[in-house]
Amino acid sequence: MAVDMHSHWMPRTLADALRRRRTVPILETGADGGDRLRITRGALRLASDHVDLAARLEIMDRHGIEIATLSIPGPGVDNLPVDDAVPLARIYNDGVAEACAAHDQRFVGFATLPCADVGEALAEFERAMELPGLIGALLPSNAFFTLAEAEAFRPVFAAAERLGALLFVHPSPVPEGRSTVPPETLDNALHRRTTLDNQAQISRSAVTLCLTGFLDNYPSIVVQLPNIGGNIALEIERMDHISLNRTPEAPPPSARLNRVHVDCNSFGPRGIELAVAAFGADRVVLGTDGTTFGTRWSLSALAETRLDEAERRAVREGNARRMLSARSVAPTR
């Protein structure tokens, strides 16, 4: 049975709160009758199983997913002004904890935090880790584009180390003035926005987390990056080449990638193979986004890799079970 480490879901309490908002993010009904999450640039269509827990369980049962981590879908509330973010984060975290408590053998959750104020983020993190089923927190990748920016979040990392909590560093809207997201009117905007820009965000955070020594003070911490860690799996050979040419006395960048785990969400068999080659077979986990399409895609992609069966089993469930074992609330069935 598989374990899904990248699966988004929204409690109805948060959905109702977002429907009442007058500024983004706003949940609204699209022309097709489905939910759309309106954000700063454009809107994301949310499948019914992003809110309907019964629909999510049906997908999991159909595809052999035993355990799924739940995290906030789409661009979350973490970068909102603190007065908006604190109550919405509490609504989300309480709702996810309720779902985990009701299905304690199937779900665990990542808390969302009000990251515009690290003090408030730390307070909500500490509160959330007392709730049923919460195993850690989701943090916005734009907070880790540089070491200088990451420094502000050391209190959260110190708390995670002390609590044995997992941290999931996931793309989120970049604050105004720093965004490189191309407008929807640009040619090939879909691919430029959802792949080029998205993967670049993850890559920038991966460089900070793996190659700067930021994590050196947290030897036991477990950090997860989505989408095979951005573009690093492909670019690490070039990084090694440049490093060996210009700073041959330093360890090659590839030797330092073992500080994080990466999930295989949205990638095909060749991408998963690259991730295993770069990060190690013990550092790659299954991710599906939680949708029917994503679940079918990721499981099929893993089955089609040229990995051996022990490596496929590690990605499908073994590595995730080891990560979750750090939290006593994790399902152990």
Cα diameter, the chain: 60
Please classify residue 93 by burial: count the beta carbons closer than 10 Å to its beta carbon, then call 0-12 exposed, 13-18 middle and 19+ buried.
buried
**pLDDT(224) > 70:** yes
The confidence score (pLDDT) of residue 331 equals 46
The confidence score (pLDDT) of residue 175 equals 56
For range 158-168, the mean pLDDT: 97
For range 66-86, the mean pLDDT: 90
**pLDDT(248) > 60:** yes
The confidence score (pLDDT) of residue 179 equals 58
Q: To the nearest whole percent, how much of the chain has pLDDT over 90?
A: 79
The confidence score (pLDDT) of residue 329 equals 47
For range 201-216, the mean pLDDT: 96
Residue 102: pLDDT band (50, 70, 90) is very high
**Spatial separation of the C-alpha atoms in residues 164 and 184, rounded to whole Å:** 41
Q: 184 vs 237, which has greater pLDDT?
A: 237
Ranges 24-28, 238-242, 254-258, 271-275: which has the least confidence = 24-28
Q: 64 vs 181, which has greater pLDDT?
A: 64
The confidence score (pLDDT) of residue 276 equals 98
For the chain, list the domains and their CATH numbers.
2-6+51-324 (3.20.20.140)
Reported as a single tens digit per residue, the pLDDT across 114-143 is 999 999 999 999 999 999 999 999 999 999
The confidence score (pLDDT) of residue 172 equals 82
For range 164-183, the mean pLDDT: 77
The confidence score (pLDDT) of residue 110 equals 98
Q: 309 vs 78, which has greater pLDDT?
A: 309
The confidence score (pLDDT) of residue 139 equals 96
**pLDDT(43) > 90:** no
C-alpha to C-alpha distances, 64 to 53, 59, 86, 88, 179, nearest whole angstrom = 16, 8, 36, 32, 39
3-state secondary structure labels for all residues of the chain = CEEECCEECCCHHHHHHHHCCCCCCEEEECCCCCEEEECCCCEEEECHHHCCHHHHHHHHHHHCEEEEEEECCCCCCCCCCHHHHHHHHHHHHHHHHHHHHHCCCCEEEEEECCCCCHHHHHHHHHHHCCCCCEEEEEEEHHHHCCHHHHHHHHHHHHHHHHHCCEEEEECCCCCCCCCCCCCCCCCCHHHHHHHHHHHHHHHHHHHHHHHCCHHHHCCCCEEEECHHHCCHHHHHHHHHHHHHHHCCCCCCHHHHHHHCEEECCCCCHHHHHHHHHHHCCCCEECCCECCHHHHHHHHHHHHCCCCCHHHHHHHHHHHHHHHHCCCCCCCCC
The confidence score (pLDDT) of residue 121 equals 97
CA-wise closest residue to 255 among 281, 236, 274: 236
For range 310-319, the mean pLDDT: 98
Residue 190: pLDDT band (50, 70, 90) is confident
The confidence score (pLDDT) of residue 332 equals 41
Whether 302 and 264 have beta carbons less than 8 Å apart is answered as yes
Q: To the nearest whole percent, how much of the chain has pLDDT over 70?
A: 93
Ranges 4-13, 20-29, 121-130, 214-223: which has the least confidence = 20-29
Reported as a single tens digit per residue, the pLDDT across 275-296 is 999 999 999 999 999 999 999 9
CA-wise closest residue to 156 among 176, 198, 128: 128
The confidence score (pLDDT) of residue 166 equals 98
Ranges 39-43, 81-85, 118-122: which has the least confidence = 39-43
Q: 244 vs 184, which has greater pLDDT?
A: 244
- On average, the pLDDT of the chain sits at 92
